[in-house]
């Protein structure tokens, strides 16, 4: 075969493969992604069985352990609406009341079930002292 | 002191502007003295940055709370080791560290290329100084580390307890060294493109810097993973977090560049690709810094509420647009000198390796920035989790490990399939034997892990075969004993055989990753003293609680005011294995509103993980003791009520009473146990990779002699010179 034709065919094959892979990547990222919602948005739009990334602040005095299960509520960053979460799995050290967290949840009845090991603590004061509002009160 | 620091920054900015002007003017007019003056600006900048850094370091070590940065990241009780490292715990200090390292590495690069690539290095000097000017501008305009408060607070807030881990001293400087070293090839690449001198000379000069960036970034990434594993209390070493990914992307680009530059050196091919990779390395390094500084993506590591997003976006946009313009406008001089002779050749293997690495970098880039992409395209922010990353990265990693075995045994230019198969026969047999052995142990349901073991076995066998053949030939030709012949072989071609050692390390690392992620057992039970749990064939028995109450003598030496933990006896089949002592440290919040006793333990609690490692398995334990148990709360509240904040000695006594109460009436504690196979191989693999990288970075004796002899005319030639 003519070398230049051979090169063209190789180029077309390589480009087709690259475009196919990129398309698969883009498609799966949209289909596998969890929308990031605030508690208020979640209350109004959650569909049972679908995963959502819930972002908000852990409500004061809402944290309790029952065996391996951690119960807590998350409220809007600037608001009072909150949703209860039932979570099992790893709990990051910085998790505490008043701290911003992100957890992947699914609606089951009136409860929101946290996906195992999906709890992330977003620390707005990372590397600095905790502001008084977030500090634990005794 | 503060004015000395700010003065150093201002002087640094002036030096940058002068150096940029002098270098460009010198390159345009061909006047060497201006080019030299530009280079000397970089050395001067390094001196001013050392001064600025020293001012902040002295302020930290001398507890000068007037400095806001010092007051926010240190305290009297912060151990000295962590005080010294606290300089890069803040946004401001991190920017200063970036500038310091950038100036130092730039100085080294320009010093090493002196006398060569005059025009290229002149433009590179201007680019390097432009980056430094940007970071100094950020400090002066947005995050000045030398801002003070008067009157000064009487005590600092202390270093975040999560950062009180020995790795804090090394991990950030390693990552930042990697990022700043990525900028050096970027600057020389831009210089080469502007001056249209895109031959292999600048690539050869930059190989060592790309390799150094690769080593530093690699060490930083692994130290970060180790830190996460041993400190953060979640038992993992990698979570596809945005900031973790930020360091991995430039590392992947560096890896691709280190391989593909060999093709340009040997065959004059892939010039556009190499120029693009260098541009990607620099841009991804700045993007990594941007991800941490801007807080634009959710990450545990990000500096939230930061205001540096806009300047970084402008810089990144300028880098991308400028790089594309330069590559497109210089396409005439970037044409390949040769074409690929055969698909069965080392060039093809390298090309495929580059495509896989670029694919990996793209997947990680897409997943990391997906929240922003999704918000821009659909108006709804959404993100992808670890399963999505694993779906793409695992197959690509398998191909990569396979290629690390194929590359070394296949010939340059053109190899026959028969010859390639002959060279690969032993590695293929080893791979099949490894897969059969793993399946023989009863492993099922983890096909990708089994394939990874096979691929790693293949790569190890291929590299061993190369070493064996080289040693045998050298031993026969020189009459040396095999160990000496092996040493001589590596010495003569450090680059090649250092690279092979890196491949061995990669195989070991991926064996550790595959085993630990596929066959891990984990449980988070709530146990009372005397209770046990069975996990992965081991029995964890909660023997007794532990408590310690002084800031100086907690088990982890991190300045915890109260440390509550447990003694856990581990047995297997009734036989004693080890004793684990996980604990959780509680820290002073420095917040008087929490009460005289409450503030002593009101800070960030941090797990002190217990770990028992062997090459075959890790036993990992963390504990979350219930400090809010009613009996402890009662003592705490009574102490807060009875003792005023200005009498800390009595508050400490109450803390002691809490510790004693915890030992006497221990509430149930939440544990986290993991039994993970072969985690140690990740750290061993990383160590081997680092060793191989170090061997490859040092020039062989012959290369040094050749370079020196090129620079220095032989004296005999001078004496015998014939007059014209």
Residues A47 and A58 in one domain: yes
Global pTM value: 0.87
First to last CA, chain A: 83
State the pLDDT confidence band at B295, using cuts at 50, 70 and 90.
low
**Closest listed residue to residue B409, CA positions, set B423, B419, B421, B430:** B423
Q: Does B367 touch chain A (CB under 8 A)?
A: yes
The CA–CA distances, whole Å, from B318 to B282, B313, B314, B521 equal 12, 8, 6, 48
**Mutation for A interface: B300, B366, B638, B673, most A CBs within 10 A:** B300
pLDDT for B300 equals 54
Kindly determine whether residue B298 and residue A120, on different chains, have CB atoms separated by under 8 Å. Answer: yes
Annotate B663-703 with DSSP letters as a single string. HHSPPPEEEEEEEEETTHHHHHHHHHHHHHHHHHHSPPHHH
Query: In angstroms, what separates the C-alpha of A138 from chain B's closest C-alpha?
Result: 6
Residues from chain A contacting residue B387 (CB–CB below 8 Å) = 32
The tens digit of pLDDT for each residue in B400-417 reads: 999 999 888 887 777 778
In a domain, B417, yes or no: no
Radius of gyration over every alpha carbon of chain B, rounded to an integer in angstroms: 29
Residues A22 and A58 in one domain: no
* Joined tokens for residue B83: 């005080």
Residues A49 and A116 in one domain: yes
Residues B116 and B208 in one domain: no
pLDDT for B107 equals 95
Residues B30 and B112 in one domain: yes
pLDDT for A133 equals 33
Q: Does B628 touch chain A (CB under 8 A)?
A: no
Q: Does B383 touch chain A (CB under 8 A)?
A: yes
Q: Does B639 touch chain A (CB under 8 A)?
A: no
pLDDT (mean) for A106-115 = 86
Q: A6 versus B552: which is more confidently predicted?
A: A6
| Average pLDDT, rounded, for chain A | 78
- Range B636-641, long-range pairs (CB < 8 A, 24+ positions): B636/A138, B636/B595, B636/B597, B636/B598, B637/A138, B639/B595, B639/B596, B639/B597, B640/A138, B640/B594, B640/B595, B640/B596, B640/B597, B640/B598, B641/B595
Residue B611's region, left for phi above 0, alpha for psi from -120 to 50, else beta, is: beta
d(CA B181, CA B281): 10
Residues A42 and A87 in one domain: yes
Give the residue from chain A lying closest to B671, CA to CA: A68
Instruction: Collect all residues with Cβ–Cβ distance below 8 Å to B51 and sequence separation of at least 6.
Output: B4, B5, B8
Residues from chain A contacting residue B388 (CB–CB below 8 Å) = 28-29, 32-33
In a domain, A135, yes or no: no
d(CA B568, CA A60): 33
Q: Does B112 touch chain A (CB under 8 A)?
A: no
Determine how many CB atoms are found less than 10 A away from the CB of residue B417: 10
Of the partner residues A29, A92, A93, the one whose CB lies closest to the CB of residue B366? A29
Share of chain B above pLDDT 90, in %: 47
Lowest mean pLDDT among B67-71, B123-127, B340-344: B340-344
Of the partner residues A35, A67, A132, the one whose CB lies closest to the CB of residue B380? A35
Residues from chain B contacting residue A104 (CB–CB below 8 Å) = 385
Residues A17 and A60 in one domain: no
Query: In angstroms, what separates the C-alpha of A116 from chain B's closest C-alpha?
Result: 11
Domain harbouring A97, CATH code? 2.40.50.140
Query: In angstroms, what separates the C-alpha of B491 from chain A's closest C-alpha?
Result: 39
pLDDT for B458 equals 94
Residues from chain B contacting residue A26 (CB–CB below 8 Å) = 366
Kindly determine whether residue B366 and residue A92, on different chains, have CB atoms separated by under 8 Å. Answer: no
Of the partner residues B367, B383, B640, the one whose CB lies closest to the CB of residue A36? B383
Domain range enclosing B150:
1-156
The CA–CA distances, whole Å, from A116 to B382, B419, B552 equal 19, 51, 37
pLDDT for B565 equals 92
Q: Is the pLDDT confidence value at A124 over 50? A: no
State the pLDDT confidence band at B551, using cuts at 50, 70 and 90.
low
In a domain, A131, yes or no: no
Of the partner residues A32, A68, A132, the one whose CB lies closest to the CB of residue B593? A132
Residues A27 and A66 in one domain: no
In a domain, B363, yes or no: no
Q: Does B682 touch chain A (CB under 8 A)?
A: no
* Joined tokens for residue B475: 């031993």
**Contacts across the A-B interface (CB distance below 8 Å):** 144
Give the residue from chain B lying closest to A102, CA to CA: B298
Q: Is the pLDDT confidence value at B705 over 60? A: no
In a domain, B177, yes or no: yes
Of B113, B130, B156, the position where a domain reaches its end is B156
pLDDT for B673 equals 92
Domains identified in chain A, total number? 2
Kindly determine whether residue A130 and residue B381, on different chains, have CB atoms separated by under 8 Å. Answer: no
Kindly determine whether residue A94 and residue B603, on different chains, have CB atoms separated by under 8 Å. Answer: no
Residues A27 and A46 in one domain: no
Q: Does B395 touch chain A (CB under 8 A)?
A: no
Residues A13 and A63 in one domain: no
Of B118, B135, B156, the position where a domain reaches its end is B156
Residues from chain B contacting residue A29 (CB–CB below 8 Å) = 366-367, 370, 384, 388
Query: In angstroms, what separates the C-alpha of A108 from chain B's closest C-alpha?
Result: 21
State the pLDDT confidence band at B718, using cuts at 50, 70 and 90.
very low
d(CA B52, CA B46): 10
Of the partner residues A22, A34, A122, the one whose CB lies closest to the CB of residue B382? A34
| Average pLDDT, rounded, for chain B | 86
d(CA B236, CA B238): 6
Of the partner residues A22, A55, A127, the one whose CB lies closest to the CB of residue B160? A127
Residues from chain A contacting residue B367 (CB–CB below 8 Å) = 29
pLDDT for B63 equals 87
Residues B134 and B113 in one domain: yes
Residues from chain B contacting residue A132 (CB–CB below 8 Å) = 591, 593
Query: In angstroms, what separates the C-alpha of A4 from chain B's closest C-alpha?
Result: 11
Query: In angstroms, what separates the C-alpha of A95 from chain B's closest C-alpha?
Result: 9
Residues B59 and B170 in one domain: no
Q: Does B593 touch chain A (CB under 8 A)?
A: yes
Give the residue from chain B lying closest to A66, CA to CA: B526
pLDDT (mean) for B83-101 = 88
pLDDT for A135 equals 33
Give the residue from chain B lying closest to A35, CA to CA: B382
Handedness of CA A123, A125, A128, A130 (dihedral sign): negative
Residues B273 and B205 in one domain: yes
Residues A90 and A40 in one domain: yes
Q: Mean pLDDT: which of A6-10, A101-105, B144-148, B674-678 is highest?
A: B674-678
Lowest mean pLDDT among B120-124, B144-148, B154-158, B493-497: B154-158
- ipTM higher than the 0.90 cut: no
Let me know: does B258 contact B206? Beta carbons within 8 Å.
no
pLDDT for B532 equals 94
Q: Is the pLDDT confidence value at B712 over 60? A: no
In a domain, A47, yes or no: yes
State the pLDDT confidence band at A1, using cuts at 50, 70 and 90.
low
The tens digit of pLDDT for each residue in B197-250 reads: 887 788 888 888 999 999 999 999 999 899 888 876 667 888 888 888 989 999
d(CA B579, CA B540): 9
Domain range enclosing A99:
36-126
pLDDT (mean) for A40-53 = 85
In a domain, B721, yes or no: no
3 state SS of B146: coil
pLDDT for B161 equals 75
């Amino acid at each position: 075969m003519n070398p230049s034709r051979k090169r063209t065919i190789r180029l077309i094959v390589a480009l087709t493969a690259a475009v196919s892979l990129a398309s698969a990547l883009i498609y799966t990222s949209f289909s596998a992604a969890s929308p990031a919602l605030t508690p208020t948005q979640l209350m109004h739009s959650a569909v049972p069985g679908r995963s959502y990334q819930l972002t908000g602040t852990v409500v004061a005095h809402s944290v309790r352990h029952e065996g391996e299960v951690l119960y807590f509520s998350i409220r809007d960053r600037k608001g009072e609406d909150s949703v209860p979460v039932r979570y099992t799995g790893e709990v990051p050290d910085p998790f505490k009341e008043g701290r911003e967290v992100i957890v992947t949840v699914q609606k089951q009845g009136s409860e929101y079930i946290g996906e195992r090991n999906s709890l992330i603590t977003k620390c707005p004061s990372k590397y600095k002292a905790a502001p008084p509002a977030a500090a634990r009160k005794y | 002191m503060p004015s000395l620091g700010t003065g150093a920054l201002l002087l640094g900015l002036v030096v940058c502007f002068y150096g940029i002007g002098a270098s460009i003017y010198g390159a345009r007019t061909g006047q060497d003295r201006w080019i030299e003056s530009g280079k000397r600006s970089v050395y001067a900048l390094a001196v001013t940055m050392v001064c600025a850094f020293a001012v902040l370091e002295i302020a930290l070590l001398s507890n000068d709370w007037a400095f806001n940065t010092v007051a926010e990241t240190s305290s009297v009780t912060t151990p000295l080791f962590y005080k010294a490292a606290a300089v890069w715990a803040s946004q401001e200090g991190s920017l200063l560290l970036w500038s310091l390292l950038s100036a130092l590495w730039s100085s080294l690069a320009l010093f090493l290329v002196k006398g060569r690539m005059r025009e290229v290095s002149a433009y590179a000097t201007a680019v390097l100084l432009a980056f430094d000017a940007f970071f100094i501008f950020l400090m002066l305009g947005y995050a000045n580390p030398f801002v003070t408060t008067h009157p000064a607070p009487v005590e600092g807030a202390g270093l975040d307890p999560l950062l009180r881990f020995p790795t804090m001293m090394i991990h950030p400087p390693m990552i930042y060294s990697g990022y700043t070293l990525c900028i050096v090839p970027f600057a020389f690449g831009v210089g080469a493109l502007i001056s249209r001198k895109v031959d292999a000379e600048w690539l050869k000069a930059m190989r060592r810097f790309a390799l150094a960036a690769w080593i530093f970034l690699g060490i930083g990434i692994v130290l970060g993973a180790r830190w996460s594993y041993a400190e953060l209390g979640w038992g993992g070493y990698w979570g596809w977090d945005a900031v973790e990914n930020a360091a991995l992307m430039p590392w992947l680009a560096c890896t691709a560049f280190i391989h593909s530059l060999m093709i340009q050196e040997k065959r004059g091919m892939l010039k556009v690709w190499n120029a693009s990779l260098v541009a990607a390395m620099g841009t991804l390094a700045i993007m990594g810094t941007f991800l941490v500084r801007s807080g634009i993506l959710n990450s545990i590591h990000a500096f939230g509420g930061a205001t540096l997003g806009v300047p970084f976006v402008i810089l990144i946009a300028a880098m991308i647009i400028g790089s594309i313009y330069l590559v497109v406008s210089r396409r005439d001089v970037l044409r390949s000198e040769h074409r690929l002779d055969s698909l069965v050749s080392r060039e093809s293997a390298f090309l495929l390796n580059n495509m896989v690495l670029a694919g990996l970098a793209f997947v990680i880039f897409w997943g990391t920035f997906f929240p922003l992409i999704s918000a821009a395209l659909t108006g709804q922010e959404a993100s992808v989790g670890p399963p999505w990353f694993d779906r793409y990265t695992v197959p690509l990693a398998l191909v990569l490990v396979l290629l690390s075995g194929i590359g070394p045994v296949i010939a340059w230019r053109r190899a026959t399939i028969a010859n390639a198969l002959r060279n690969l026969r032993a590695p293929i047999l080893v791979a099949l034997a490894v897969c059969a052995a793993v399946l023989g142990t009863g492993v099922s349901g983890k096909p990708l892990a089994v394939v990874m073991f096979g691929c790693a076995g293949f790569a190890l066998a291929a590299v061993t075969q190369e070493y064996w053949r080289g040693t045998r030939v050298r031993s026969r030709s020189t009459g040396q004993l095999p160990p000496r012949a092996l040493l001589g072989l590596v010495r003569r071609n450090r680059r090649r055989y250092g690279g092979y050692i890196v491949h061995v390390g990669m195989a070991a690392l991926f064996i550790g990753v595959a085993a630990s992620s596929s066959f891990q057992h984990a449980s988070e039970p709530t146990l009372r003293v005397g209770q046990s749990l069975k996990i992965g064939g081991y029995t964890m028995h909660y023997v007794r609680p532990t408590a310690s109450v002084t800031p100086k003598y907690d088990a982890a030496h991190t300045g915890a005011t109260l440390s509550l933990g447990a003694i856990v006896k581990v047995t297997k089949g009734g036989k004693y294995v080890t004793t684990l002592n996980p604990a959780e440290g509680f820290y002073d919040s420095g917040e008087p509103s929490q009460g005289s006793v409450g503030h002593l333990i009101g800070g960030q609690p941090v797990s002190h993980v217990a770990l028992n490692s062997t090459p075959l398995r890790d036993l990992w334990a963390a504990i979350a003791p219930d400090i809010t148990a009613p009996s402890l709360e009662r003592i705490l509240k009574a102490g807060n009520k009875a003792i005023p904040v200005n009498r800390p000695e009595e508050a400490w006594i109450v803390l002691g009473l809490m510790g004693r109460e915890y030992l006497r009436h221990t509430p149930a504690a939440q544990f986290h146990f993991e039994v993970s196979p072969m985690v140690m191989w990740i750290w061993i693999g990383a160590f081997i990779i680092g060793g191989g990288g170090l061997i490859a970075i040092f020039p062989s004796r012959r290369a040094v002699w050749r370079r020196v002899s090129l620079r220095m005319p032989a004296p005999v030639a001078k004496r015998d010179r014939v007059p014209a």
